Chains A and B, each alone.
Chain A
Amino acid sequence: ETGVTQSPTHLIKTRGQQVTLRCSSQSGHNTVSWYQQALGQGPQFIFQYYREEENGRGNFPPRFSGLQFPNYSSELNVNALELDDSALYLCASSFKGPGTEAFFGQGTRLTVV
């Protein structure tokens, strides 16, 4: 167990809708990174939050947005869902600093129909 929890575990949405995914970070960690993992592929970095500020972003459009709260938990929001957004969304919790370990939650499986 990593202590990183994500909710919900599964979600089905219709194209064009909006979705919010949640992540609770491991105790003592102040950084949350979000990844998208398409079937059969490695995770792709979406963005990272540190002390409630976005701290880097991957190659994802602005309709992917996020928040981090004072307790370091985080949300990922996706607007105007597209079929290609169907994937496993993972959050990783870590403590700021180079070479520090990151621990993943179990993921949220999003299906867009």
Chain B
Amino acid sequence: GENVEQHPSTLSVQEGDSAVIKCTYSDSASNYFPWYKQELGKGPQLIIDIRSNVGEKKDQRIAVTLNKTAKHFSLHITETQPEDSAVYFCAASGTDSWGKFQFGAGTQVVVTP
């Protein structure tokens, strides 16, 4: 089955700096890669996703890149703000496993003013 590894487990950045979180996956059949943000006491919130037919996607300060050959994908947050502080999870699923995500272990992001 699919295995998703996520690094780093914690990330501390100064407000205004960039944050990068990296994930690798094992199943070459995976073709959908969402990123979720989870704040304390809340459920995961979908912030951006990428499908295997594209290599990069941007949404304002957030971007995701995908390298299918190397089986890794990354989340980039630019101009970080204190409200970006949260736990971020990457996930993967495939056509035969749609909606049945394998999640990474999470990255605790702390943005200090």
Contacts and interface: CB of A to CB of B under 8 A. Distances in A.
Interface residues of B, number: 27
A110 to B, nearest CB: 14
Contact of A42 (B32, B97, B104): B104
B32 A104 contact: no
A99 B50 CA distance: 9
Interface stretch (A13-21, A61-69, A71-79, A90-98): A90-98
Contacts, number: 71
Contacts of A42: 6, 89, 91, 103-106
Interface residues of A, number: 30
Nearest to A108: B43
Nearest to A95: B99
B99 A102 contact: yes
Contacts of A58: 100
Interface of A: 2, 4, 6, 31, 33, 35, 40-45, 48, 56, 58, 90, 92, 94, 96-107
Given A94-B98, A98-B32, 11 more contacts: A42-B89, A42-B106, A43-B101, A48-B100, A56-B100, A98-B98, A99-B51, A101-B34, A102-B101, A104-B45, A107-B43
Interface of B: 6, 31-32, 34, 36, 42-46, 49, 51, 89, 91, 93-95, 97-106
19 contacts: A2-B43, A6-B43, A33-B99, A40-B106, A42-B104, A45-B102, A48-B100, A92-B101, A97-B98, A98-B31, A98-B93, A98-B95, A99-B32, A100-B98, A104-B36, A104-B44, A104-B46, A105-B43, A107-B42
